[in-house]
Amino acid sequence: MLAVPEGTQLILGQSHFIKTVEDVYEALITSMPGIKFGVAFCEASGKALIRYDGSDEEATSVARKFAKLLGAGHCFVVVLKGAFPINVLNRIKNVEEVVGIYCATSNPVTVMVADTGKGRGILGIVDGESPKGSETESDRKERHEFLRKIGYKR
Protein backbone atom coordinates (compact mmCIF):
# COMPACT_ATOMS: atom_id res chain seq x y z
CA MET A 1 0.00 0.00 0.00
CA LEU A 2 1.19 3.52 -0.80
CA ALA A 3 0.29 5.69 2.19
CA VAL A 4 0.07 9.18 0.70
CA PRO A 5 1.45 11.66 3.28
CA GLU A 6 -0.93 14.28 4.68
CA GLY A 7 -0.98 17.39 2.51
CA THR A 8 0.22 15.63 -0.63
CA GLN A 9 -1.36 14.11 -3.72
CA LEU A 10 -0.23 11.09 -5.73
CA ILE A 11 -0.31 10.54 -9.47
CA LEU A 12 0.66 7.03 -10.59
CA GLY A 13 1.10 6.25 -14.24
CA GLN A 14 2.94 4.33 -16.91
CA SER A 15 5.36 5.66 -19.47
CA HIS A 16 7.83 4.12 -21.88
CA PHE A 17 11.04 6.08 -22.21
CA ILE A 18 14.04 7.32 -20.20
CA LYS A 19 13.15 10.98 -20.86
CA THR A 20 9.95 10.61 -18.81
CA VAL A 21 11.44 12.26 -15.72
CA GLU A 22 12.64 15.32 -17.63
CA ASP A 23 9.44 15.71 -19.64
CA VAL A 24 7.10 15.25 -16.65
CA TYR A 25 9.29 17.67 -14.68
CA GLU A 26 8.93 20.28 -17.45
CA ALA A 27 5.17 19.71 -17.70
CA LEU A 28 4.79 20.24 -13.95
CA ILE A 29 7.18 23.15 -13.45
CA THR A 30 5.55 25.11 -16.28
CA SER A 31 1.98 24.36 -15.18
CA MET A 32 1.92 26.40 -11.95
CA PRO A 33 4.32 29.00 -10.55
CA GLY A 34 6.06 27.66 -7.44
CA ILE A 35 4.65 24.13 -7.71
CA LYS A 36 6.22 21.66 -5.28
CA PHE A 37 6.59 18.07 -6.47
CA GLY A 38 8.77 15.05 -6.91
CA VAL A 39 8.76 12.56 -9.77
CA ALA A 40 10.34 9.11 -10.03
CA PHE A 41 10.38 6.66 -12.94
CA CYS A 42 11.28 2.95 -12.92
CA GLU A 43 13.44 2.28 -15.94
CA ALA A 44 12.65 -1.17 -17.42
CA SER A 45 15.82 -1.92 -19.37
CA GLY A 46 19.47 -0.92 -19.66
CA LYS A 47 20.67 0.09 -16.21
CA ALA A 48 17.09 -0.35 -14.88
CA LEU A 49 17.44 2.53 -12.42
CA ILE A 50 14.91 4.64 -10.59
CA ARG A 51 15.29 8.00 -12.33
CA TYR A 52 14.05 11.03 -10.35
CA ASP A 53 13.84 14.81 -10.08
CA GLY A 54 11.65 17.43 -8.44
CA SER A 55 11.25 20.89 -7.04
CA ASP A 56 10.76 19.74 -3.44
CA GLU A 57 13.17 17.44 -1.60
CA GLU A 58 10.52 15.81 0.61
CA ALA A 59 8.11 15.13 -2.28
CA THR A 60 10.98 13.77 -4.38
CA SER A 61 12.02 11.46 -1.55
CA VAL A 62 8.46 10.10 -1.23
CA ALA A 63 8.21 9.60 -5.02
CA ARG A 64 11.50 7.64 -4.99
CA LYS A 65 10.34 5.54 -2.03
CA PHE A 66 7.04 4.68 -3.77
CA ALA A 67 8.83 3.84 -7.04
CA LYS A 68 11.20 1.52 -5.16
CA LEU A 69 8.29 -0.19 -3.37
CA LEU A 70 6.52 -0.77 -6.68
CA GLY A 71 9.58 -1.75 -8.68
CA ALA A 72 7.37 -2.04 -11.77
CA GLY A 73 8.92 -1.37 -15.15
CA HIS A 74 8.01 1.91 -16.77
CA CYS A 75 5.81 3.13 -13.93
CA PHE A 76 6.15 6.72 -12.76
CA VAL A 77 5.14 8.37 -9.52
CA VAL A 78 4.43 12.07 -9.00
CA VAL A 79 3.97 13.45 -5.48
CA LEU A 80 2.46 16.95 -5.33
CA LYS A 81 2.57 19.34 -2.37
CA GLY A 82 0.17 22.27 -2.25
CA ALA A 83 -1.39 21.41 -5.61
CA PHE A 84 -4.16 19.15 -6.80
CA PRO A 85 -3.91 16.64 -9.67
CA ILE A 86 -6.69 18.55 -11.48
CA ASN A 87 -4.17 21.41 -11.89
CA VAL A 88 -1.62 19.27 -13.78
CA LEU A 89 -3.19 16.02 -14.93
CA ASN A 90 -3.89 17.02 -18.52
CA ARG A 91 -0.36 18.40 -18.85
CA ILE A 92 1.03 15.02 -17.72
CA LYS A 93 -1.35 13.09 -20.00
CA ASN A 94 -0.07 15.16 -22.93
CA VAL A 95 3.57 14.18 -22.34
CA GLU A 96 4.26 12.16 -25.48
CA GLU A 97 5.74 9.11 -23.76
CA VAL A 98 3.04 8.81 -21.07
CA VAL A 99 0.96 5.71 -21.81
CA GLY A 100 -1.67 6.16 -19.11
CA ILE A 101 -2.60 7.18 -15.59
CA TYR A 102 -3.63 4.61 -12.97
CA CYS A 103 -4.77 7.12 -10.35
CA ALA A 104 -4.58 10.67 -9.05
CA THR A 105 -5.48 10.82 -5.36
CA SER A 106 -4.66 11.68 -1.77
CA ASN A 107 -6.09 8.36 -0.58
CA PRO A 108 -4.00 5.38 0.43
CA VAL A 109 -3.53 3.29 -2.72
CA THR A 110 -3.19 -0.47 -2.95
CA VAL A 111 -1.30 -1.39 -6.10
CA MET A 112 -1.61 -4.91 -7.49
CA VAL A 113 1.75 -5.85 -8.94
CA ALA A 114 2.62 -9.00 -10.91
CA ASP A 115 6.14 -10.38 -10.56
CA THR A 116 7.36 -12.68 -13.35
CA GLY A 117 10.73 -13.32 -11.75
CA LYS A 118 12.35 -11.17 -14.45
CA GLY A 119 10.30 -8.01 -13.99
CA ARG A 120 7.28 -6.47 -12.32
CA GLY A 121 4.22 -4.76 -13.74
CA ILE A 122 1.16 -2.98 -12.36
CA LEU A 123 -2.09 -4.87 -12.92
CA GLY A 124 -4.36 -2.30 -11.31
CA ILE A 125 -5.00 -0.21 -8.23
CA VAL A 126 -7.51 0.19 -5.41
CA ASP A 127 -7.96 3.88 -4.60
CA GLY A 128 -9.29 4.46 -1.08
CA GLU A 129 -12.46 2.85 0.25
CA SER A 130 -15.77 1.56 -1.12
CA PRO A 131 -18.78 3.91 -0.92
CA LYS A 132 -20.69 3.84 2.37
CA GLY A 133 -23.95 5.12 0.88
CA SER A 134 -25.33 7.93 -1.27
CA GLU A 135 -25.02 11.59 -0.45
CA THR A 136 -27.86 13.30 1.36
CA GLU A 137 -29.12 16.79 0.61
CA SER A 138 -26.86 18.01 3.43
CA ASP A 139 -23.85 16.19 1.89
CA ARG A 140 -24.69 17.71 -1.50
CA LYS A 141 -24.78 21.21 -0.01
CA GLU A 142 -21.47 20.56 1.77
CA ARG A 143 -19.89 19.42 -1.56
CA HIS A 144 -21.13 22.55 -3.36
CA GLU A 145 -19.80 24.83 -0.58
CA PHE A 146 -16.45 23.06 -0.45
CA LEU A 147 -15.84 23.42 -4.21
CA ARG A 148 -16.58 27.12 -4.00
CA LYS A 149 -14.46 27.57 -0.88
CA ILE A 150 -11.37 26.13 -2.60
CA GLY A 151 -12.02 28.14 -5.77
CA TYR A 152 -13.03 25.42 -8.26
CA LYS A 153 -16.60 26.69 -8.70
CA ARG A 154 -18.21 30.10 -8.47
Per-residue pLDDT tens digits for 82-127:
999 999 999 999 999 999 999 999 999 999 999 999 999 999 999 9
Please choose, from the candidates 59, 79, 80, 67, the residue with its C-alpha nearest in 3D space to the C-alpha of residue 113: 67
- CATH of residue 65's domain is 3.40.1520.10
In whole angstroms, give the CA distance from residue 11 to residue 85.
7
Give 152 or 138, the one with higher predicted confidence.
138
pTM of the predicted model, to two decimals? 0.91
Q: Is residue 84 part of a domain?
A: yes
- For the stretch 46-70, pLDDT in tens is 999 999 999 999 999 999 999 999 9
Burial class (CB in 10 A: 0-12, 13-18, 19+), 108: middle
Phi/psi at 30 (5° precision): -95, 0
> Average model confidence (pLDDT) for the chain?
95
Q: What is the CA radius of gyration of the chain?
A: 16
In a domain, 22, yes or no: yes
Asked whether residue 1 is domain-assigned, the answer is no
The number of domains in the chain is: 1
